Amino acid sequence: MKDVVGRIRAKFAGVRIIGATLTSALGSTNANHGSPEEDAKRKALNEFIRNGGLFDGVADFDAATLDPQTGGMRAEFVPESTTG
């Protein structure tokens, strides 16, 4: 991220760059997402995006969709699990 943002800033003077946090996949049935280990990595990345000083602003999708009681997404943001 640092490299890409640096290259963008070098090429486009005065550009504002907005970072965006990753939403939770905790409890996902996809084998590549949803484990506590992957969630810890996501949280660390989100902490960097929010507080690393790299971005001019942050779109905090994690804060907007997180259910603090479960650590997963709030129910209204979870896609239908059965579609026909």
Tell me the per-residue pLDDT of 60-83, one tens digit each, with 9 for 90 and over: 999 999 999 988 888 888 776 544
Residue 31: the pLDDT is 72
Distance CA 75, CA 79 (A): 9
Give the three-class secondary structure for 44: helix
71 domain residue, yes or no:
yes
82 domain residue, yes or no:
no
Residue 25: the pLDDT is 85
Per-residue pLDDT band at 34 (split at 50, 70, 90): confident
18 domain residue, yes or no:
yes
Domain count of the chain?
Answer: 1
The stretch 1-12 carries a mean pLDDT of 96
Residue 20: the pLDDT is 98
Does this model's pTM top 0.75? yes
83 domain residue, yes or no:
no
Specify whether the CB–CB gap between 50 and 21 falls below 8 A: yes
58 domain residue, yes or no:
yes
Range of the domain at 41: 2-77
